[in-house]
Chains A and B, each alone.
Chain A
Amino acid sequence: MKTNEIKERIIKTANELPEFPEEAYKEYEAKIPKMVSELNDMMLSRSDIEVLTGDKVNIEMMKDNHNNHAHFIASILKNFDGEVLVDTILWVFRAYRSRQFHTNYWAAQLNSWRTIIQKTFQIKQQKIFCRFTIGCKSTYLHLLNYRMNN
């Protein structure tokens, strides 16, 4: 399959992610600072964090990424566009991989996000956000594979 076909297929998959009710988006946005703080603590407590981020000098960049990720997800929840999601994720991979972040970093990060979402939200919202996060994780992994091979 040609490169553009692969990307188009991933965009199509991304566009099948669930829609969000406005109250879910507002609740997510309000809880960003707390969630980002918890994510930072969770990731920093890992013994392999310097392996995942490539270098201890990248720890601040990692924290920036967590904050940017949360705000980006809030933007996407409000105005969903599969192509924006895919292009932004590819940009993130390029920017962070070029600075030695390990490919396992994103898997670790997304699994941590799922844990935090389960702690932070009521069951109904958890289902919405987890479906989205799992969908995003699937998109991320497809894109990582695409990025590694193109």
Chain B
Amino acid sequence: MDKEDKEIFLEALLKGNREKGSAIATKYVSSHDDIKKFYEDIVKPSLYKIGEMWEYNIITVAAEHLATAVSESIMNELYEHVISLERTPYKIVLGSIEEEQHQVGIKMIADIFEMHGWDTYFLGSNTPTNDFISFIEEINPDIIALSLSIYTHIPIFERMINQIRRQYPEIPIIAGGQAFNHGGQEIADKYDNTIVISNIYDTEKFIKKFEDEDK
């Protein structure tokens, strides 16, 4: 991975220059592995850096939102390279929990599942818990994936898992996001079949394990 690509991409996000950012992205479309590298080694650290710049008052909230919007639109451009023609019979519902506005990370995870031929139902950010669960009833997925970036949302996350588990005691739940930076596995451990995953490579290992065990 070109170090310069990372710097150019960050600069493109900060200036809202979608064309420049897109030009970087198109260098990473020749394989799923390249797209994963683009997500994990360019997009993710760039957005973390943007968050840090807001923290130090170097950029405003508007600039942060612009960077996020540009990142998402570039990720959308890659969809034709993400989707796998070989399909599996598996389905996953993914989204950020209620009150959680951040969604780029869980969108990346949705793309990873798509690369493996899964049907993904990406609900985006801040889906009310009751509506999320109604949707699960409708789709009957094999896995649920939840994202939260803000630590104060952990109680909402726990309430949601409790509600899901009342109706679906067995369905695997994977959770991730910056809220779990100091652990969080101990919270997930309280519930059966619930794990915290911190990056797309561990997500892939999980997918392979799930598919192997289901054979």
Contact = CB atoms under 8 A, between A and B. Distances in A.
Nearest to A82: B182
Contacts of A91: 55
Given A94-B56, A95-B55, A98-B55, A72 B152 contact: yes
Interface string A72-112: 10110011010110011001001100110000000000000
Interface residues of B, number: 14
A68 interface: yes
Contacts of A71: 152, 155
Given A94-B55, A94-B56, A81 B152 contact: no
Interface string B179-196: 000110011000000000
A75 B151 CA distance: 7
A29 interface: yes
Contacts of B63: none
A78 B156 CA distance: 12
A98 B182 contact: no
A79 B190 CA distance: 12
A2 to B, nearest CB: 21
Interface in B130-163: 151-155, 158
Contacts of A98: 55-57
Interface in A49-76: 68, 71-72, 74-75
A79 B152 contact: no
Given A94-B56, A98-B56, A78 B155 contact: yes
B83 to A, nearest CB: 37
A81 B186 CA distance: 11
Contacts of A72: 151-152
A74 B154 CA distance: 10
B146 to A, nearest CB: 16
Nearest to A100: B57
B182 A83 contact: yes
A81 B183 contact: yes
A88 B57 CA distance: 17
B182 A87 contact: yes
Contacts of A87: 182
Contacts of A78: 154-155, 158
A68 B182 contact: no
A41 B13 CA distance: 39
Contacts of A29: 155
Contact of B152 (A68, A83, A95, A99): A68
A88 B155 contact: no
B154 A79 contact: yes
Interface string B44-76: 000000000011110000000000000000000
A37 B205 CA distance: 47
A74 B152 contact: yes
A140 B153 CA distance: 22
11 contacts: A68-B152, A72-B151, A75-B155, A79-B186, A79-B187, A81-B183, A84-B151, A84-B182, A94-B56, A95-B57, A98-B57
Interface of A: 29, 68, 71-72, 74-75, 78-79, 81, 83-84, 87-88, 91, 94-95, 98-99
Q: Nearest 10 A-B pairs (CB), nearest first?
A: A98-B57, A71-B152, A84-B182, A72-B152, A95-B55, A75-B154, A75-B152, A98-B56, A99-B57, A94-B55
